């Protein structure tokens, strides 16, 4: 298993449960947790203050909400400046939609897939998965395959391991919001960066959260963005 992996959590209006979750992540092989406060409302300030008190947990902050993609790139830039401290990063949702077991599974698979990008593929057959989310995921995967000739089962998963050497070009990929997840994969294919898939646990949709910030569930929006980027490839800077 790879050592010195940083967990990156883009966070917008997180719940108190994120504090416990960070402690759990640091009890695994993850050596540091980097949280990006992406312009959260002031009433969530206490959550971030508590997170700052945790050893090996760093909070980076945006003055305004710029989106998940922008938050990820802020964290990627920080990790790159650490000069060889980390061998890779794992991106995780802030609303506990990724269980500790799921995270550990992806971490374990870095022993086999130490290069490129490893996707934690969600199971859309769970009780939390609606008819629309199941077929929405199928539609986006099929559309991705038609455009880019690569079958990926879950293009919007937020649980991803990324090798450290991929970060320099990932920072330049277009997209500040949810479209960044797909743009990352398109750019990876064009660069012949390896993409691996690991099946994780069941899809979890937490009620009364901003889950859309972490993993957008609107298939129509994803497909529209995908088509726009396909028709205007120069806008997707790799």
Task: Please report the pLDDT score of residue 177 as a whole number.
Answer: 83
Task: Please report the pLDDT score of residue 208 as a whole number.
Answer: 44
Residue 124 pLDDT > 60, yes or no? no
Please answer whether residues 140 and 148 qualify as being in contact, where contact means their C-beta atoms are separated by less than 8 angstroms: no
CA distance 39 to 65: 4
- What are the C-alpha distances in Å from 116 to residues 18, 184, 224? 28, 11, 27
Average pLDDT of the residues in 181-206: 84
22-52 pLDDT, tens digit per residue, is 999 999 999 999 999 999 999 999 999 999 9
Which spans in the chain are helix H? 17-26, 45-52, 68-80, 100-109, 131-148, 167-170, 179-190, 211-214, 219-231
CA distance 180 to 72: 9
The mean-pLDDT minimum among 135-139, 206-210, 214-218 falls in: 206-210
**Distinct helix (H) and strand (E) counts, the chain:** 9, 7
Q: Percentage of the chain with pLDDT > 90?
A: 56
Residue 234 pLDDT > 50, yes or no? yes
Task: Please report the pLDDT score of residue 131 as a whole number.
Answer: 47
Task: Please report the pLDDT score of residue 125 as a whole number.
Answer: 55
- Ranked by mean pLDDT, the top range of 130-144, 159-173, 188-202 is 159-173
The answer to whether the pTM exceeds 0.75 is yes
């Amino acid at each position: 298993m790879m050592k010195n992996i940083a967990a990156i959590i883009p966070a917008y209006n997180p719940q108190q449960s994120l504090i416990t979750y960070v402690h759990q992540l640091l009890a695994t092989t993850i050596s540091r947790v980097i949280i990006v406060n992406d312009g959260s409302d002031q009433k969530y300030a206490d959550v971030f203050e508590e997170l700052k008190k945790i050893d090996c947990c760093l909070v980076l902050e945006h003055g305004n909400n710029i989106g998940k993609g922008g938050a990820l790139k802020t964290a990627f830039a920080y990790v790159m400046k650490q000069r060889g401290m980390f061998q890779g990063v794992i991106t995780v949702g802030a609303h506990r939609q990724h269980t500790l077991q799921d995270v550990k599974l992806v971490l374990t698979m870095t022993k086999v897939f130490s290069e490129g990008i490893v996707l934690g593929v969600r199971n859309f057959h769970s009780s939390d998965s609606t008819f629309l989310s199941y077929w929405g995921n199928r539609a986006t995967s099929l559309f991705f395959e038609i455009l880019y000739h690569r079958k990926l089962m879950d293009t919007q998963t937020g649980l991803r391991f990324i090798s450290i050497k991929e970060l320099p070009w990932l920072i330049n990929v277009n997209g500040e919001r949810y479209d960044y997840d797909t743009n990352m994969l398109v750019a990876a294919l064009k660069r012949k960066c390896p993409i691996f898939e690991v099946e994780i646990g069941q899809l979890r949709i937490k009620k009364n959260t901003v889950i859309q910030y972490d993993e957008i569930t609107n298939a129509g929006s994803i497909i529209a963005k995908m088509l726009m980027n396909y028709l205007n490839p120069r806008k997707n800077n790799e």
